Amino acid sequence: MKKFLNNVDQMLVESLSGFAAAHSDLVDIQFDPTFVARKQKSDNKVVLISGGGSGHEPLHAGYVGRGMLDAACPGQVFTSPTPDQMLAAAEAVHAGKGVLFIVKNYAGDVMNFEMTTEMLPFEHATVLTSDDCAVVNSTYTTGRRGVAGTVIVEKCVGSLAETGADLASCKALGDKINVRTSSIGAALTSCTVPAAGRPTFDISEDEIEMGVGIHGEPGRRREAMREADAIVGDMVAAIVQDIEAKQLPTHGDILLLVNGLGATPLMELYLIYNTAAKLLTEKGFHITRSLVGNYTTAIDMAGASLTVCLLDNEITQHWDSPVHTAGLRWGC
């Protein structure tokens, strides 16, 4: 393992301290229990709190700020945060209209947020994101995982919450976007959890992991490395199939997000965008919004994910509204 680090046990605290210092105009950080909150506390609005294991930066702390989250609770690397963090965050940021938790669908995250809501003294609701179509949903499994589509949920629901909308409306928009969003990832290499010190999985030079999760969990299948167009073609096909399976239209306006998993350069991400956009347009979609970059990472994994969100006027309007966070900023 070759990483910039001092003491592996201090890595998270040092990184979060750096994050808070670099963005001291936007956020405040508190440790033990650890959470990141907006510098400017909101008034009379639904507050959005998210959280998850660390290692997916800028998710979620990078999305704290005007137009997105009110607070984020970073857990240990790839490990859900704990209820005391969420309770402390809710106590610090609540603004009289309830708390909306945005939770990626993993057993640990769901259980920790569930225990939090059992103890929470405020009105609350939860949006569970599950955009990853690599994992087939079934009543017998934990179900689809929440991945990069979570960023779209946090952006748009954050925008709606700024307008003073109530808790039920914010939850409804989050649930709607989640249903209309499909993602799939592909890994060229593993990631290395710092405390583990070695790659999470072995993969040879001529292989890829199709459908990889953002923790390096295996996906649909291990397959041979091919040229980018072939890999992206399979990813687009999986997404289109998922949209069809959900009986949603395979035409109309979409947002296309090409997300880097940590160690894939923008040059390759734009190449992926080029192919994906062509294929989706041929399919009948109209790409009216796009985003390319590292928005939901898996530490140092080389790889990328594609996310397609079927837009409507409401989602487009909230995507376009001003946002000022460390990870996303436009319109202000």
Partner 1 sequence: MNSHTISLYAAAIRHAILDHEADIECLDREIGDGDHYINMKRGCEVIASMTDELTALSAADALNKIGMKLLSTIGGASGPLFASFFMSMSKTLKGSETLNTLQMALAFEAGVQAIMQRGKAQAGEKTMLDVLIPVANTFKQMAEQDKSSQEIATALKQVASTGLESTRNMLATKGRASGLGERAIGHLDAGAKSCEVMIHAVCDAVLIS
Active site residues: 56, 215
| Shortest distance in whole angstroms from residue 318 CB to partner 1 | 30
Q: Which of residues 135-164 bind partner 1 (CB under 8 A)?
A: 135-136, 138, 140-142, 145
Residue 130 makes contact with partner 1 by CB under 8 A: no
Residue 262 makes contact with partner 1 by CB under 8 A: no
Reduced DSSP (H G I as helix, E B as strand, rest coil) percent helix, strand, coil of the chain, to 5:
35, 30, 35
Give whichever of 2 and 198 is closer to partner 1, judged by the CB atom: 198
Q: Which of residues 212-231 bind partner 1 (CB under 8 A)?
A: 213, 215-219
- Do you find a cis peptide bond into 58, omega within 30 degrees of 0? yes
The tally of CA atoms less than 13 A away on the side-chain side of residue 291 is 24
Residue 82 makes contact with partner 1 by CB under 8 A: yes
Residue 80 phi, psi dihedral angles, 5° rounding: -50, 145
Using the rule CB under 8 A, give the single segment among 111-119, 121-129, 161-169, 241-249 that binds partner 1: 111-119
Contact 185, 219 (CB under 8 A): yes
Residue 107 makes contact with partner 1 by CB under 8 A: yes
Residue 7 phi, psi dihedral angles, 5° rounding: -120, 125
- Choosing from 50, 112, 130, 297, the residue that interacts with partner 1 (CB under 8 A) is 112
- Do you find a cis peptide bond into 249, omega within 30 degrees of 0? no
Residue 76 makes contact with partner 1 by CB under 8 A: yes
- Choosing from 22, 196, 225, 266, the residue that interacts with partner 1 (CB under 8 A) is 196
Contact 167, 97 (CB under 8 A): yes
| Shortest distance in whole angstroms from residue 163 CB to partner 1 | 34
* Edge-to-edge order in the sheet of strand 35-38: 27-30, 35-38, 71-77, 45-54, 96-104, 124-129
Residue 20 makes contact with partner 1 by CB under 8 A: no
Residue 36 makes contact with partner 1 by CB under 8 A: no
Query: How many residues line the site for partner 1 (CB under 8 A)?
Result: 38
Q: Among 193, 195, 232, 192, which residue's Cα sits nearest to residue 210?
A: 232
Residue 297 makes contact with partner 1 by CB under 8 A: no
- Choosing from 42, 189, 200, 321, the residue that interacts with partner 1 (CB under 8 A) is 200
Alpha carbon distance 304, 294 (integer Å): 9
Residue 50 makes contact with partner 1 by CB under 8 A: no
DSSP labels, 225-269: ---HHHHHHHHHHHHHHHHHHTT--SSEEEEEEEEE-BSS-HHHH
| Shortest distance in whole angstroms from residue 327 CB to partner 1 | 22
- Choosing from 58, 65, 75, 262, the residue that interacts with partner 1 (CB under 8 A) is 75
| Shortest distance in whole angstroms from residue 222 CB to partner 1 | 9
Give whichever of 62 and 219 is closer to partner 1, judged by the CB atom: 219
Using the rule CB under 8 A, give the single segment among 79-87, 172-180, 286-294, 311-319 that binds partner 1: 79-87
Alpha carbon distance 177, 157 (integer Å): 9
Question: Measuring CA to CA, how many Å separate 68 from each of 123, 193, 211, 309?
Answer: 19, 28, 28, 18
Residue 78 makes contact with partner 1 by CB under 8 A: yes
| Shortest distance in whole angstroms from residue 267 CB to partner 1 | 29
Structure tokens given for 163: 């307008």
Give whichever of 19 and 106 is closer to partner 1, judged by the CB atom: 106
Alpha carbon distance 303, 275 (integer Å): 15
Nearby residues of 305 by Cβ (< 8 Å), 6 or more positions away = 147, 148, 183, 184, 185, 186, 214, 258, 259, 261, 296
Residues lying near partner 1 in the complex (CB under 8 A) are found at: 33, 53, 75-84, 106-108, 111-112, 114-115, 134-136, 138, 140-142, 145, 193, 195-196, 200-201, 213, 215-219
